[in-house]
């Protein structure tokens, strides 16, 4: 089963996804994609806030690039994998030194999701509810995020949009 939680910044999407993982009754593997430089104090605090909110018994992996490999390695009928979040993973991959790194990793991710056993919960920022971004890099990011969300929503059993901490179920099979 694949679940996708989308929402804006501070929308409650991570909290809703964590609640779904906790109630799964399975062994939770939390895959964190965020990275923070030494000078990015705000991101460091955001990461720490997420760390402190997770149950201690969850297995936590930090994987900023090779998400498909991590899913393949840990997916099983007894596990619930929670990935938080796809848009940070997308940023990491788009700015990777290899030119087509994101395109290859996206294909691997979609393949791993289609083949994964157990429950997979994915969290991502919905960035495309406003106007078309002015800058080329921002447009590229938003375009890739929108495409990725559509591809993952198509293979997901459940898709939820979080707004003000409330879940709006968009798809439920």
Which whole-number Å values give the CA distances from 166 to 16, 28, 55, in the listed order? 8, 23, 22
Which residues, 6+ apart, have CB-to-CB distance to 26 below 8 Å?
A: 78, 79, 80, 118, 119
Distance in angstroms (rounded) separating the CA atoms of residues 100 and 32? 22
Using the 8-state DSSP alphabet, how is residue 12 labeled?
A: S
Distance in angstroms (rounded) separating the CA atoms of residues 57 and 28? 8
Identify whether 149 is a catalytic site residue. Answer: no
Which residues, 6+ apart, have CB-to-CB distance to 63 below 8 Å?
A: 31, 32, 33, 69, 70
Options 50, 57, 74, 96, the catalytic residue: 50
- Cβ(87)–Cβ(127) under 8 Å? yes
Active centre residues (catalytic): 50
């Amino acid at each position: 089963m694949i679940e996708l939680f989308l929402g804006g910044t501070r929308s409650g999407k991570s909290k809703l996804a964590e609640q779904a993982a906790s109630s799964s009754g399975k062994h939770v593997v939390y895959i964190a994609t965020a990275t923070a430089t030494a000078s990015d104090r705000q991101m460091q605090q955001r990461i720490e806030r997420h760390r402190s909110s997770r149950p201690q018994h969850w297995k936590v992996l930090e994987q900023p690039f090779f998400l498909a490999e991590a899913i393949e390695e840990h997916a099983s009928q007894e596990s619930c994998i929670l990935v938080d979040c796809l848009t940070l993973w997308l940023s990491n991959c788009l700015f990777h030194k290899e030119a087509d790194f994101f395109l290859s990793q996206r294909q691997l991710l979609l393949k791993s999701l289609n083949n994964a056993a157990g429950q997979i919960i994915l969290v991502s920022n919905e960035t495309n509810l406003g106007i078309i971004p002015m800058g080329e890099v921002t447009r590229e990011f938003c375009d890739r995020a929108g495409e990725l969300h559509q591809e993952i929503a198509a293979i997901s059993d459940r898709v939820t949009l979080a707004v003000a901490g409330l879940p709006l179920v968009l798809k439920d099979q």
